[in-house]
Amino acid sequence: MGLLRLLLPAALLAAASPLAWAFYLPGLAPVNFCDDKTAHGDCKSGIELFVNRLDSVESVLPYEYAVFDFCQTSGEKRPSENLGQVLFGERIEPSPYKFTFKAPETCKSVCKKTYHLNVPEEKQKLEFLKKSMLLNYQHHWIVDNMPVTWCYEVEDNQKFCNPGFPIGCYITKDAKPKDACVINEFREPDTFYIFNHVDITISYHNVENEQSGSRLVAAKLEPKSYKHTNVDHPDCSGPPMDISNMATSGDVQIAYTYSVKFEENREIRWASRWDYILESMPHTRIQWFSIMNSLVIVLFLSGMVAMIMLRTLHKDIARYNQMDSTEDAQEEFGWKLVHGDIFRPPRKGMLLSVFLGSGTQILIMTFVTLFFACLGFLSPANRGALMTCAVVLWVLLGTPAGYVAARFYKSFGGEKWKTNVLLTAFLCPGVVFADFFIMNLILWGEGSSAAIPFGTLVAVLALWFCISVPLTFIGAYFGFKKNAIEHPVRTNQIPRQIPEQSFYTKPLPGIIMGGILPFGCIFIQLFFIQNSIWSHQTYYMFGFLFLVFIILVITCSEATILLCYFHLCAEDYHWQWRSFLTSGFTAVYFLIYAIHYFFSKLQITGTASTILYFGYTMIMVLIFFLFTGTIGFFACFWFVTKIYSVVKVD
């Protein structure tokens, strides 16, 4: 289903480009609503509210709505979820909150929950609810595929629209309000306040063409707490619904209610209905100036690197060729000296070729995914599409991985082709899957909704073993069948001795320096990506991300080429591993940044959440290491082949 959702728009675009304005992404077409009297086939009157998993910024563990003892609906079918939604732990289910278009409701009862504190099972349910309020777990409700938002004022009279709202809040023993209690007038110490009532406002926009009906453009709510005077017939009056932390006996009764009203909005169009959420988010109101500043700095550095390379190399090549033409007996110097050793196979060539194969797979996958995201196919409204696209592409790109690994392994003089193919197919994906499986066991043990169901795990393994592995074998077959890569210069039989190196041309300082420049141009975007993953904020700046991706590729290439040139001038010809590790070291800076982000920006508590954070971070670091390292190697390989092909060698 997820693959279909991704391929269908592309097919439609290719087949009917003149009609491109007329189609919508599958599952994202507008729905028309009418009131009860005028409802017909194309115009519904019933509005369904769906509930998603609940999550918290203080915990990495999301939980399904059904785990909490809220009002449930029985007998209704859950909407189908694509692979990306399941992998991200999204669990959308129907709810008992049902509305009729243009039919307002006031203080309508949904259900009543009673907890007898002397019954262990019921007390445990209430304790889980209290713990969730303490960790500030948030509801995520969906109406017409759009998040129901809670909008409130923050500093400087700015409005912030949160695509979730809290279960409740807590006043500490010393009467300090936590989280949402700060906004409300709750004062009782060591007490929990549950938001058992919501005032929902649904905004709609009338369709202006010949079609009848209206389209929903916003859904906002305000959570409230009421200790209803009559629980069986609630009237939304009375003091807030408090649950004392000291209570050990008696009953706790919670009545869940809602009010809904409908407002016409002529300003917001259906196509731009997400804008008010995205514009108000903290941290996403990114300073355009700072992004442009980074771009200018990076482009300036790139220009400097390119100019130095072109001018210096041009002089070198001219000098070397002039020496040959004048038959100067003077001894060779500089990078020309190592021409007989420059293409000597590296140590651990098997491992390097496997890394290059996996890196190529990740590089193409990232490029295509970001390209689709820029076209709008993978917008936040198309839930799970980004992850589905990435996984499907990774599976289908086994052939380039096998081909690249085989070609380079053969050029390194390797003969254990079976080992090479197996390692390409299983080493890096196996490490990622093993880490992912351990994280999944922790999530499963904690009862979290982010735990991947056994069926999905089998499906992912089937994609890997039945599609990716055979495609890798096919790629490797064609890679080994082709002749080895022809080098412009012959390799001497006896290796040349490398002279004593200065501090700057030693391998480690060069590798450490090489990663600084690429990291410098991505760290701003890293902040937003980390926020979207761990602080549950919507990421939508794919245009910027694609631009930063291109800049990263250019910067990794140029930084590696520059350092490679300095090492060759110092007569050190071991460039293969060094070029891979120079740009790959950007991943180490990413890891350091992730550790800094954990301690400075997140309020995550609990051992399981901490292990999960660093477990998932290690997967990202490995993928980033292979991705950047491959860019560096290919850039350096192209550079070395180019300069030694234009110099006359006796």
Tens of pLDDT, residue by residue over 356-374, are 999 999 999 999 999 999 9
For residue range 342-353, what is the model confidence (pLDDT) as tens digits? 899 999 999 999
pLDDT band at 280 (very low <50, low <70, confident <90, very high): low
Position 1 pLDDT exceeds 60: no
In tens, the pLDDT along 61-86 reads 999 998 998 999 887 888 888 888 88
Distance of alpha carbon 52 from alpha carbon 66, whole angstroms: 10
The string of pLDDT tens digits covering residues 24-59 is 454 578 889 998 888 777 888 899 999 999 999 899
Per-residue model confidence (pLDDT) at position 14: 34
CA 516 to chain centre: 23
The two tokens of residue 75 are 């007998």
| Conformational region of residue 89, where left means phi above 0, alpha means psi within -120 to 50, and beta covers everything else | left
* Phi and psi at residue 51, to the nearest 5°: -115, 140
User: Token digits for 467?
Assistant: 């599609």
Number of Cβ within 10 Å of residue 375's Cβ equals 13
Strands 146-147, 242-244: pairing kind: unpaired
Which tokens belong to 84?
A: 């990306």
Average predicted confidence (pLDDT) for the chain? 85
CA 392 to chain centre: 15
What pLDDT score does 3 carry? 37
Chain centroid to CA 639: 33
Asked if pLDDT for residue 266 goes beyond 80, the answer is: yes
Q: What are phi and psi of 153, to 5 degrees?
A: -85, 140
Q: Are 624 and 587 in contact (CB under 8 A)?
A: yes
Residue 272 is classified by DSSP as G
Backbone angles phi, psi at 142, to 5 degrees: -130, 130
Please give the pLDDT value at position 19. 30
How large is the average pLDDT for residues 558-574?
A: 88
